[in-house]
């Protein structure tokens, strides 16, 4: 007779959790979102602040990387100008699949207050965007919220196959 009875049915009885592949892959993906430092303008400062001491994104698994090859999330933080547009596309292409984009701040969303000749009117004209984050500039808490929304989105997506193209281009 076993001295130590294990209640297999009770949660936490064994360090075993049963789940689907989709769920476990998405769990991994959603909780270690490595973001590309794409600070273009003012919002980039708030992005830095969210990586720094008070807001400390590292504890949520959101670690800023300097290289697109190591990143899966591009936080477009700031005004995208027409001169810069091709570089954002090139860096986006360099990121490995699966990849997501958060457009941070009004300028990246729609051009914002800079309704001028040299500003791209919304970064979604160049790369597909998953999440639009309003504000000028959004606070770090807002960015945190956006990352949580993105996590939710990732968990809803099927993980087992390659991502569908988000738009024609």
Pick the closer one to other proteins by CB: 2 or 18.
18
| Residue 135 DSSP one-character state | -
Residues that bind other proteins (CB under 8 A): 17, 19, 23-24, 27, 31, 37-42, 44-46, 48-49, 52-54, 66, 78-79, 81-91, 93, 110-111, 113-122, 125-126, 136-137, 139, 148, 152, 155, 162-165, 168-169
CA angle 159, 32, 99 (to 5 degrees): 50
- Considering the complex, what minimum distance in angstroms separates the CB of residue 3 from other proteins? 30
Distance (Å, rounded) from C-alpha 99 to C-alpha 124? Answer: 15
> How near is the Cβ of 1 to other proteins at its closest, in Å?
33
What is residue 82's three-state secondary structure? coil
Torsion angles phi and psi, residue 94, rounded to 5: -75, -20
Most distant pair of Cα atoms in the chain: their distance: 81
Q: Least distance in Å: CB of 4 to other proteins?
A: 25
In the complex with other proteins, the residue whose CB is nearer, 5 or 12, is 12
């Amino acid at each position: 007779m076993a001295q130590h009875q294990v209640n297999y049915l009770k949660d936490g009885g064994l360090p075993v959790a049963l789940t689907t592949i989709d769920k476990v892959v998405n769990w991994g993906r959603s909780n270690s979102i490595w973001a590309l430092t794409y600070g273009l303008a003012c919002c980039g400062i708030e992005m830095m602040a969210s990586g720094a001491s008070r807001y400390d994104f590292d504890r949520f698994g959101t670690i800023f990387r300097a290289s697109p090859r190591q990143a899966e999330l591009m936080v477009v933080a700031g005004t995208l100008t027409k001169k810069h547009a091709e570089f954002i596309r090139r860096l986006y292409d360099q990121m490995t699949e699966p990849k997501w984009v958060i457009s941070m701040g009004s300028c990246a969303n729609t051009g914002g207050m800079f309704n001028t000749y040299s500003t791209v009117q919304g970064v979604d004209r160049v790369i597909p965007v998953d999440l639009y984050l309003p504000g000028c500039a959004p606070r770090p808490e807002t960015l945190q919220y956006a990352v949580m929304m993105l996590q939710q989105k990732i968990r809803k997506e099927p993980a087992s196959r390659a991502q569908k193209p988000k738009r024609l281009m």
